Amino acid sequence: MSWNLLGHSWAENLLQKHIANQETRHAYLFTGAPGIGRRSLALAFASALNCTQPPEPAGYCGTCRACRLTAAMQHPDLSILSPQNDSRMIKVDQVRELQHTLSLTPYEARFRIALLPNFQLANANAQNALLKTLEEAPDKVILLLTADSTESLLPTIASRCEIIRLRPVAVEQLEEELVTRWKLAPENARLYAHIANGRPGLALQMAADPQLLEKRKAWLDELLRLLPLDRRGRFAAAEALCRNREQLRLALEMWLSLCRDLLMLAHGMEDKVTNVDYLEDLNRVMDSLAPAEALRVVNRLIKALDELEANANLRLLLENVFLDLPRVS
């Protein structure tokens, strides 16, 4: 049986076994990089748990009312917890409201399911509030959490869940799946698979939304434009780049991917390059950049992303990054 997901067949098999043997846990934690398929797998699991017309044990039809509403995240017995009102944080009051909902008998499904995507966004109070539910989950309730890693949550949260650690799919496998199953042109499939670095969800997002590629190109081109500039030129660019925290995060992530590619080239691993459409630019930069310098820039960008998550001043953060960037003609 298959849930028709891209990659992670071992995780599918494990969850299907839990359903078929009536051994479902009260809480699951799906971890992995954004775009790897955490939410898709959790929703497929939820569909299989509550499908009213399963074609086979632990399968789901995708067409019954329960499956359609679950896929649309509108099922009355599916609760979703995420930041509200432009906040970037899940707060304790939201968890308490969820706990009240979970205390009620399911309206129409076998299980009342709570989906808590990106639970690393919950503050410490919210995470601590969820502990009681994780320790004493009501009957017929299953919690599905997703997070970047177990380390991004309180240890007491992770220890009370069945952990499903998702890893990137082999780039070659992802490329083949994009061609055979999703009917993408081979050249597009190769590009998306490499940029996504084995993350099926991100590859499919790019295939569905061409603007994502356009934004990526704009950020990468901007970094290449900045490298030859002096301090004054870079600081002038900082003013426009630091107006939006989320956009700056995306820019830093794109720049980090390009600088990691420089390290791959420096060590003769061209087959590991993510931004394959920028190989000519990467080789040009490497002609003027020592491998140790590329590593220093990678570490500086990682530090900048950590500072961004800690709510650092955007202008100051970006100017410090620009000061540390090597000047490459």
329: pLDDT strictly greater than 90: no
Total H helices, total E strands in the chain: 15, 5
Q: How far apart are CA 250 and CA 264, in angstroms?
A: 21
Per residue in 202-233, pLDDT (tens digit) is 899 899 998 989 999 999 999 999 999 999 99
Q: Which structure tokens are listed for 211?
A: 């603007």
Task: Indicate the pLDDT class of residue 1, thresholds 50, 70 and 90.
Answer: low
Phi, psi dihedrals of residue 300, rounded to the nearest 5° = -70, -40
Per residue in 29-80, pLDDT (tens digit) is 999 988 999 999 999 999 999 999 999 999 999 999 999 999 999 999 999 9
Phi, psi dihedrals of residue 143, rounded to the nearest 5° = -105, 135
In angstroms, the first-to-last Cα distance of the chain is 55
The H or E element spanning position 80 is strand 78-80
5: pLDDT strictly greater than 70: yes
pLDDT of amino acid 159: 96
78: helix, strand or coil:
strand
Using an 8 Å Cβ cutoff, are 175 and 197 in contact? no
pLDDT of amino acid 301: 94
How much of the chain exceeds pLDDT 70, in percent?
Answer: 100
Per residue in 103-143, pLDDT (tens digit) is 999 999 999 999 999 999 999 999 999 999 999 889 999 99
CA angle, 329 as apex, 315 and 305 as ends, to 5°?
30
Per residue in 225-275, pLDDT (tens digit) is 999 999 999 998 888 888 888 788 888 989 999 999 999 999 999 988 999
Using an 8 Å Cβ cutoff, are 70 and 47 in contact? yes
Using an 8 Å Cβ cutoff, are 105 and 139 in contact? no
Per residue in 152-210, pLDDT (tens digit) is 899 999 999 999 999 999 999 999 999 998 899 999 999 999 999 889 988 998 999 98
**DSSP state for residue 223 in the 8-state scheme:** H
What is the number of residues in the chain?
Answer: 329
The mean pLDDT of the chain is 92
Nearest Cα neighbor of 289 from 313, 261, 309 is 261
Using an 8 Å Cβ cutoff, are 177 and 4 in contact? no
Handedness of CA 126, 131, 137, 143 (dihedral sign): positive
The H or E element spanning position 144 is strand 141-147
pTM of the model as a whole: 0.84
Maximum separation of any 2 CA atoms in the chain, in Å = 66
